[in-house]
Amino acid sequence: MSELAIDLARIQFAFTVSFHIIFPAFSIGLASYITVLEALHLKTRDHQYLELSKYWTKIFAVTFGMGVVSGIVMSYQFGTNWGVFSDKTGPVLGPLMGYEVLTAFFLEAGFLGIMLFGRNRVGEKLHFLATATVAFGTLLSATWILAVNSWMQTPAGFAYNELGQFVVTSWYEVIFNPSFPYRLVHMVIAAYLTTAFVVAGVGAWHLLKAPHNELARISFSMGMWMAVLVTPIQIVAGDLHGLNTLEHQPMKVAAMEGHFETQKGAPLILFGLPNEETETIDYKVAIPYLGSLILTHKVDGEIKGLKSVPKEERPPVAIVFWSFRIMVAIGFLMLTIGVISVWLRRKKTLYETPWFLKLCIWSAPCGFVAILSGWITTEVGRQPYTVYGLLTTAESVSPIDASAVGASLAVFVVVYFAIFGAGIYYLLKLMRKSPSKYEQDMDVRVVTRLSHGQLGKDKDGNPIAASLGPEDPQSGGER
């Protein structure tokens, strides 16, 4: 197969998986968020949580559907463009993907209908159970897929048969391979943070229009709490994941950090221009010794450089170097926004600070950018292998002409931008609608009872609306 065909096959897979990864990530976080909202409603009987649950369930339905559709294409590519890879790894990866269908998809398919259409047909507790089961199904799906990806990064528990295929010797070692726990935690937290910033961004959008929109306040507040509490955990998880990567994939870390030379007391390179011809980082800005301190937790720790392996075994340095920095920068942006939210909350101006609300609106998609940057770091950093150290990308491709791959890539580009562009437009349209249905219903009930004289009286004998709900949503109380 020609180099052009290999490059086109890689571009096609990268293009389709880039569209796909954002929808399941959002689905994972959103399903768990809706579950929390329904749990809060059951516990507090505050109907505002119920209305928020209804609001975000509509958005979840569209997101989940696009995630399923975009995922189907991935399976076809394994057969069309990556046939040798499928043949070699099928005895290991095939069952793992089958387990995802038998467990995660069955759970989601069984309870998704109740979650989306059964709210007024089943009891509240049963609906909560269905929602929680769908949320668990999304996490289970992520678990199997990340087990597959982690095995490709750090293969374990296998042997070769007479056909040169990977065969399983220990399912435990295959699933719980060295990088799996770190990758799973890092990805799930990323999904939760991505959702938190979307929820907060939507809340901020509506607060700019109506500062006393209580449902928007709840969404914004919950998103900001998630940012300030979970982002530090994600930074720690990322550090541990990096240490694991240093142990098992040192060349990936060398590309991430921009180290061509093996050295002790390596600096942390903040910025620079990787030059693979001269094997240097031009115009670099670095902090002495900090690279070794972060990666080895020792000031004089040794970091292997890219020159320790032949050029053909190195990943593309510039892509890995910059995608890693984009991911890290967004992580610290999230932390900064979370800290600012605490400061504004203490000043009791969290919902009335226009510049901060605008910052949160612009930051709403930053989680998706971080996930894509992290994925690029992970997958490009694994090159030139599909199964790290064992099966190269060039050996994994199907014997197919570049013209065929190019034609299918062109079709994918047109179809994806048309269909998923329309889907994203519809999602944004749903998000632009104010999550204030409950407040509007309450206003209608107040007017109706006033017109019929159905008023109660307070302890001083003053007329009040009777039995309107657990609390007045226009009170503007801080949460």
pLDDT more than 90, % of the chain: 41
The pLDDT tens digits of the residues spanning 388-408 come to: 989 998 888 888 888 888 888
Q: Of 188, 209, 85, which Cα lies nearest the Cα of 145?
A: 188
Q: Would the pLDDT of 278 be above 70?
A: yes
pLDDT at residue 437 tops 70: no
Helix (H) or strand (E) holding 424: helix 402-432
**Which has more pLDDT, 248 or 472?**
248
Mean pLDDT of the chain: 85
d(CA 422, CA 418): 6
With cut-offs at 50, 70 and 90, classify the pLDDT of residue 2: confident
pLDDT(4) > 80: yes
CB 303 within 8 A of CB 292: yes
Q: 9 is written with which tokens?
A: 């096959």
Lowest-pLDDT range, 129-133, 187-191, 227-231, 263-267? 263-267
Q: What is the pLDDT of residues 7-28, one digit of tens each?
A: 888 888 888 888 888 888 999 9
Of the ranges 56-60, 83-87, 474-478, which one carries the lowest mean pLDDT score? Answer: 474-478
Query: What is the pTM (predicted TM-score) of this model?
Result: 0.85
Q: Is the pLDDT of residue 39 over 90?
A: yes
131 vs 250: CA distance, rounded Å = 41
Q: What band does 460 get if pLDDT is binned at 50, 70 and 90?
A: low
Question: Predicted confidence band at 466 (pLDDT cuts at 50, 70, 90)?
Answer: very low
The highest-confidence range among 108-112, 122-126, 194-198, by mean pLDDT, is 194-198
Distance CA 40, CA 38 (A): 5
pLDDT of residue 1: 61
- SS3 at position 101: helix
What is the spatial distance between Cα 227 and Cα 219, in angstroms, rounded to a whole number?
Answer: 12
Return all residues near 59 (Cβ < 8 A) that are at least 6 apart: 30, 427, 430, 431
| pLDDT tens digits for range 290-335 | 888 888 888 888 888 888 888 888 899 899 999 999 999 999 999 9
CA distance 399 to 401: 7
445 pLDDT above the threshold of 50: no
**What integer pLDDT is reported at residue 338 of this predicted model?**
93
Does the pLDDT at position 477 exceed 60?
no
Predicted pLDDT of residue 335: 94
Cβ neighbours for 63, distance < 8 A, ≥ 6 positions apart: 23, 26, 27, 30, 427
Q: How far apart are CA 199 and CA 36, in angstroms?
A: 13
Residue labelled with tokens 């509240």: 124
Asked whether the predicted pLDDT for residue 185 surpasses 60, the reply is yes
pLDDT exceeds 50 at position 379: yes
> What's residue 432's pLDDT?
87
Q: Is the pLDDT of residue 469 over 60?
A: no
For residue 276, pLDDT beyond 90: no
For residue 475, what pLDDT is reported? 39
Pairing of strands 280-287, 268-275: antiparallel
Alpha carbon distance 339, 293 (integer Å): 26
Q: Are the CB atoms for 191 and 361 separated by under 8 Å?
A: no
**CA atoms of 196 and 219, how far apart (whole Å):** 9
Question: What's the average model confidence in pLDDT over 160-185?
Answer: 92
Is residue 430 very low, low, confident or very high in pLDDT (cuts 50, 70, 90)? confident
Closest CA to 268 of 315, 336, 321, 326: 321
Q: Which residues contact 142 (CB under 8 A, 6 or more apart)?
A: 24, 28, 184, 187, 188, 191
Domain edges within the chain: 3-252+309-440
Burial of 84 (0-12, 13-18, 19+ CB in 10 A): middle
Q: Give the whole-angstrom CA distance, residue 389 versus residue 154.
A: 9
Mean pLDDT of the 332-346 span: 93
What DSSP letter does each residue of 195-257 carry, written as one string?
HHHHHHHHHHHHHHH-TT-HHHHHHHHHHHHHHHHHHHHHHHHHHHHHHHHHHH-HHHHHHHH
**C-alpha distances out from residue 355 to 129, 338, 376, Å:** 40, 15, 32
Is residue 99 within 8 Å of 73, Cβ to Cβ?
no
The residues, ordered by sequence, that sit 6+ positions from 220 with a Cβ below 8 Å of its Cβ are 199, 200, 203, 204, 207, 350, 351, 357, 360
